[in-house]
């Protein structure tokens, strides 16, 4: 049997229910693994073993009394350090929030606590979720467990690396332009961005409010469905939360996909997609056809402008959201000669280069005389992209593509070239602009590194996305794990 720390969460859950394992044994196995590999991976900003110990004690107490403490009990989890956790610091990987300790939990944390959450740490990330490599962290870069010389993706790279390295059984991330799916792809995992509004954003520190969404990073589709079930649902504390009920994601996994239609957007299979990635993704189209699905090419003509629109809208919203970090109410404060000087010194020292770059881009796009030329035009492009997806889904049940145009790139390779870094998100950004659900499933290896296959769905149709993902996962039987020659096997 594989080590406990490499098992799927649902399997560990079943072993706990059968009393083949205890929550303490699971926690101990993961704790020893963290001690072994964390110095090389740097997946965590803050470890929370005291909170995990308390959760384990409560779970064992419930089980001793014949009660089920909940579907998340005894399953060590990493939580991206952008979600507020009461009494535990939430830094967003930034100096400006290095010592910020929230007085409340994000709604998703509340819901997971009710399900027995065993949180072992706050995961590293790109500062304020701005990046595609987890190199933009005040606490140092995270390394990819498959190859310690490469990035794990971003901005939820710490969450993905923790699961891939066996430092957690599953994790929460956030996805603004691909920040769950791209690191899942780079680390050989499953990562899902739900429909915008399906999961509450209350307590998620805002980057771009019309794009951000919380979601799972897991080892398999079944774990993804289980975790998604626990965090979805309407929240009156979030004005963008949708009132729709939550389907039974687990029960729908094994439904038949025969007769479904999968569209392949030609704009996501052209220039910029690495040959090895394209070859593996095309082979997956054949697998879908073997499963009884019809695969056909479609066009989303305005996707050529998606990256441009995103890098106007997201920085503009970031500029507005990050204005609150001024040294007055919370976070870092650097004294100055007067209040304006204090603002300037605090923000100059507290924010990293990428955050400053995006604040300046966003402020420019929103400034008088440029708003209509940039921000308003970007929103029009967004509307056109939404229309492209709507028309494609009139004839298709899902759309499929690579998750990332390449496998994980080397640490430092794109730091001096922001445009090359931004191109990492070319396949994932359109879904965020349209507010749609999408999942990344590992589908093979190129140069010994994982390739992700992206499945996109209609609004609120996570059920179909998960069903197709599960069918593909079962057909592929992808079981590769990092090895010790380059990574942390």
Active-site residue set: 80, 155, 179
The C-alpha atoms of residue 247 and residue 263 are separated, in whole angstroms, by 24
Q: H/E element holding 55?
A: helix 49-64
Closest by Cα among 317, 301, 320 to 430: 301
The C-alpha atoms of residue 242 and residue 244 are separated, in whole angstroms, by 6
The C-alpha atoms of residue 155 and residue 37 are separated, in whole angstroms, by 21
φ, ψ dihedrals at 253, nearest 5°: -60, -40
Angle at 426 between CA 265 and CA 407, to 5 degrees: 100
Q: In the numeric block, which tokens belong to residue 377?
A: 């035009």
Q: H/E element holding 122?
A: strand 118-123
| CB atoms near residue 213 (< 10 Å) | 26
| CB atoms near residue 234 (< 10 Å) | 14
- Strand partners of residue 439: 192, 455
Q: How do beta strands 449-456 and 294-298 pair?
A: unpaired
């Amino acid at each position: 049997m594989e080590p406990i720390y490499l098992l799927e969460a649902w399997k560990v859950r079943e072993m706990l229910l059968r009393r083949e394992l205890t929550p303490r044994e699971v926690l101990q196995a993961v704790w020893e693994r963290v001690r072994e590999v964390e110095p090389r991976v740097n997946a965590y900003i803050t470890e929370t073993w005291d909170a995990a110990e308390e959760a384990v004690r409560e779970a064992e107490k419930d089980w001793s009394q014949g009660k089920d403490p909940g579907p998340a009990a005894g399953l060590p989890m990493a939580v991206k350090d952008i979600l507020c956790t009461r009494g535990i610091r939430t830094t967003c990987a930034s100096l400006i929030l290095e010592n910020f300790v929230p007085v409340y939990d994000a709604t998703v944390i509340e819901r997971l606590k009710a399900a027995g959450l065993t949180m072992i740490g706050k995961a590293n990330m790109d500062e304020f979720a701005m990046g595609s490599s987890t190199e933009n962290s005040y606490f140092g870069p995270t390394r990819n467990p498959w190859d310690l010389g490469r990035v794990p993706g971003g901005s939820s790279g710490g969450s993905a690396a923790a699961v891939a390295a066996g430092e957690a059984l599953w994790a929460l991330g956030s996805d603004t332009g691909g920040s769950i799916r791209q690191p899942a792809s780079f680390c050989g995992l499953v990562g899902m961005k739900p429909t915008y509004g399906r999961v509450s954003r209350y307590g998620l520190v805002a980057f771009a409010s019309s794009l951000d969404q919380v979601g799972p990073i897991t080892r398999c589709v079944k774990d993804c469905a289980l975790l998604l079930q626990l965090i979805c649902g309407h929240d009156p504390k979030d004005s963008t939360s949708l009132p729709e009920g939550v389907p039974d994601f687990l029960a729908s996994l094994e439904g038949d996909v025969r007769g479904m239609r999968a569209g392949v957007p030609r704009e996501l299979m052209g220039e910029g997609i690495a040959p090895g990635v394209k070859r593996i993704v095309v082979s997956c189209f054949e697998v879908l056809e073997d499963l009884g699905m019809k695969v056909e090419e479609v066009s989303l003509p305005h996707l050529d402008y998606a990256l441009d629109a995103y890098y106007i809208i997201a920085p503009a919203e970031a500029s507005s959201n990050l204005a609150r970090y001024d040294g007055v109410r919370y976070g870092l404060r650097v004294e100055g000669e007067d209040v304006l000087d204090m603002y300037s010194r605090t923000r100059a020292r507290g924010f990293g280069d990428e955050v400053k770059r995006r604040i300046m881009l966003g402020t420019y796009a929103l400034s008088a005389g440029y708003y209509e030329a940039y921000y308003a035009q970007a929103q029009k492009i967004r509307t056109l992209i939404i229309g492209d997806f709507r028309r494609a889904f009139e004839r298709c049940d899902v759309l499929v593509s690579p998750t990332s145009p390449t496998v994980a790139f080397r640490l430092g390779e794109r730091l001096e070239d922001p445009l090359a870094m931004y191109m990492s998100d070319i396949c994932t950004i359109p879904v965020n602009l349209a507010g749609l659900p999408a999942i990344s499933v590992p589908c093979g290896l190129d140069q010994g590194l994982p390739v992700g296959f992206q499945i996109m769905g209609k609004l609120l149709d996570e059920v179909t996305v998960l069903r197709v993902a599960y069918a593909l996962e079962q057909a592929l039987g992808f079981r590769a794990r990092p090895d010790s020659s380059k990574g942390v096997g």
